Amino acid sequence: MLASLVATCKMSDVNSVSYIAETLRAILDGHPASRIENLMPWHFRKTSSRAA
């Protein structure tokens, strides 16, 4: 499952470490389950380490 998540981040040009960390933080901070779509990698801001 983790490998699939990392691959999805790569396809979305998203830094997977940043994505996972911020997504877990959002969940712990009470992100509503009704808005789970907002936490998908393709909605995450573009912070790829490849852009550096």
pLDDT in tens, 31-40: 999 999 999 9
| DSSP classification of residue 40 | S
Please state the domain count of the chain.
Answer: 1
pLDDT of residue 45: 72
CA atoms within 13 A on the CB side of 44: 25
Report, as an integer, the average pLDDT of 15-30: 95
Question: What is the reported pLDDT for 5?
Answer: 93
Q: In this structure, what token pair is assigned to residue 41?
A: 């990698």
Model pLDDT, residue 50: 47
Look up the domain containing 30 and give its range: 2-51
3-class secondary structure, 46: coil
5's tokens: 């998540």
The pLDDT value recorded for residue 46 is 53
Check residue 9 and give its pLDDT: 93
Binned at pLDDT 50, 70 and 90, residue 16 comes out as very high
